[in-house]
Amino acid sequence: MFFPFVPPVRRLPAGSAWLLVALLLAGPASQAQQRPVHPAAGRPLSLNEALDLARTQAPHLQAKAYQVQAAEADIAQTKTQRLPSVRLSGQVSYGSTNAVAGTMLPVGTIIPSSGSLSGVNSYNAVFGSMGTALMEWSPVTFGQYPAQRARAEAARDYAQADADNELFTQQLRVAQTYLDLLATQSLRQVREQDVRRVSILKKTITRLALHGLRPGVDSTLARAAEAQSKLALVSAQEQEADRQARLSTLLGQPGATWQPDTLYNRTLPPALVPPTATHPTLGLQQRAVDLGQARETVIRRQYRPRLSLLGATWGRGSGLGSNGQTDYGLAGAAPTRFNYAVGVGVVFDLLDWPRVQAQAKAENLRTQGLQAEYQQQQLELSNQATLANQRLQLAAERARQAPLQLAAARQAYRQKLALYNSGLATVVDVTQALYGLQQAEQDQVLTANAAWQAVLLQTAAAGDFSFFFTPVTP
């Protein structure tokens, strides 16, 4: 059965808050778990219980919740970018006092040589000091701060939509595996019943062959039929073990054995119209588009200037006196001159336009690709909804025909067996009738299950998992 489990990329659906609260509060408990969680002894595991276990125990759902928290933290970090920057620095140095006039461009590491030009080259060293406090605040960025904030919020919305989509996908996987396990258990029971029936038939044929009433080849064919029946049972047991392990993994429970509720093998779902809802996968895809557009806005606004308010104060000490003396010793390490300055600065990279345009174009093309993926996802979900309706109609027809097939197959088997006991039919006729009975029994036990799987496919296409429980909720 096909489900839209492709995670490409809603307003946020109902249940978003529950996802964070349930997963994050259950995180420490799930990390501390040491043993499987099971329903009460002797009671089947309901589908609702299975979904609750998966919601609170599955590690990858908890990982998605932490990603949402991290995105929230990024928003908080973005808000702090509006705060002013205050940098304090200080140093004490010991070095020569030669100064050279001239201009140096700000490339690499610059070691300033302050003071007036000395008459001669001297290697006499003195102590010096410098302490600064520089404040810079950019209250006007011409939309750069709001764009960064919008990008952080779009990233948070995407993380939330990703968590919601993963939760919905997990619910679908759990329900699918739950129904598959129930179907394989029913199939295994049919195989066990068939093994018992074939074993009795083999004993009867062998006894008739030993008394010379039937040819010896009949007993050989009977043994082959018994072996084939047992092999079919082993295959069913392998499938059941595989579904058990898969369900345990989805529920976050190591080495558990589950007994699903047989309700989904005993009752047929009524025909219902799926609700109109925003599909989580489409919601995730739309959030990806929104995030791409927010990134493009940030890139384009990088070209805008920044207006900054500046303020600074600093103190300067030097072991070189105004008369050129250099014998002040450690006294030069103490600041002796103090200054302050305030100002307004504008930073604008005039030639940055080609780089910004190229980056923005690349981001815009990526966003257009995400929009195309959104349309593709819409198409797939629409076709899946049509397929689900067709499967549900076919399941209803199968439910009408399966009992008739089973009754006819049972009658045909009894008739062939009676004819064989009377010597009017061959063992091949009996085994063919037996095979028809096996298929009829298998179709009968899987009829209701197949109908519920069709409803699950409808649920996957609709994007609202509550729809699946509508037929069985009082």
Q: Where are the domains of the chain?
A: 47-83+141-305+348-468
The one-digit pLDDT tens for each residue of the chain (474 residues) are 333 333 333 343 444 444 343 433 344 434 434 344 555 545 788 888 898 888 888 888 889 999 999 999 999 999 888 889 999 998 888 888 777 767 777 777 677 766 666 677 777 788 888 889 989 898 888 889 999 999 999 999 999 999 999 999 999 999 999 999 999 999 999 999 989 988 888 888 888 888 777 787 888 888 888 898 899 999 999 999 999 999 999 988 887 788 898 888 888 887 767 777 788 999 999 999 999 999 999 999 989 998 899 899 988 888 877 777 777 677 778 888 899 899 998 888 888 899 999 999 999 999 999 999 999 999 999 898 889 888 888 888 888 888 999 899 999 988 888 888 888 888 888 888 888 998 898 888 888 888 888 888 888 888 887 777 766 543
Neighbour tally for 427: CB within 10 Å = 23
Backbone angles phi, psi at 311, to 5 degrees: -155, 140
pLDDT tens-digit series, residues 170-199 = 999 999 999 999 999 999 999 999 899 888
Q: Two tokens at 80?
A: 């702090």
Strand, helix or coil at 77? helix
DSSP 3-state percent helix, strand, coil across the chain (nearest 5): 65, 10, 25
47 contacts 175 by C-beta, under 8 angstroms: yes
Residues 6+ apart with CB under 8 A from 404: none
Strand, helix or coil at 193? helix
Residues 6+ apart with CB under 8 A from 120: none
199 contacts 225 by C-beta, under 8 angstroms: no
Q: Two tokens at 304?
A: 């805008």
Sheet of 85-96, strand order: 85-96, 125-140, 306-318, 337-347
429 contacts 416 by C-beta, under 8 angstroms: yes
On the CB side of 203, how many CA atoms lie within 13 Å of its CA? Answer: 5
The whole-angstrom separation of Cα 122 and Cα 460 is 84
Q: What is the pLDDT of residue 18?
A: 40
pLDDT tens-digit series, residues 104-138 = 777 776 777 666 666 777 777 888 888 899 898 98
Distance of CA 84 to the CA centre of its chain: 38
Residues 6+ apart with CB under 8 A from 79: 149
Q: What is the pLDDT of residue 278?
A: 81
Q: What is the pLDDT of residue 38?
A: 57
Q: What is the dihedral of CA 18, 21, 22, 26, to 10 degrees?
A: 170
The whole-angstrom separation of Cα 420 and Cα 208 is 11
Q: Two tokens at 372?
A: 């195309």
Integer-rounded Cα Rg, in Å, for the chain is 39
Q: CATH fold of 47-83+141-305+348-468, please?
A: Outer membrane efflux proteins (OEP) (1.20.1600)
Max alpha carbon distance in the chain (Å)? 137
Q: Two tokens at 138?
A: 């950019």
Q: What is the pLDDT of residue 117?
A: 66
148-182: buried (b, 16+ CB within 10 Å) or exposed (e) per residue?
Answer: bbbbbbbbbbbbbbbbbbbbbbbbbbbbbbbbbbb
Predicted model pTM: 0.76
65 contacts 30 by C-beta, under 8 angstroms: no
Residues 6+ apart with CB under 8 A from 117: 99, 100, 101
The whole-angstrom separation of Cα 180 and Cα 173 is 10
46 Rama sector, left if φ>0, alpha if ψ -120 to 50, beta otherwise: beta
Backbone angles phi, psi at 87, to 5 degrees: -115, 125
Compute the Cα dihedral for 206, 212, 213, 219 and give only its sign: positive
Q: What is the pLDDT of residue 359?
A: 92
Compute the Cα dihedral for 283, 287, 293, 294 and give only its sign: positive
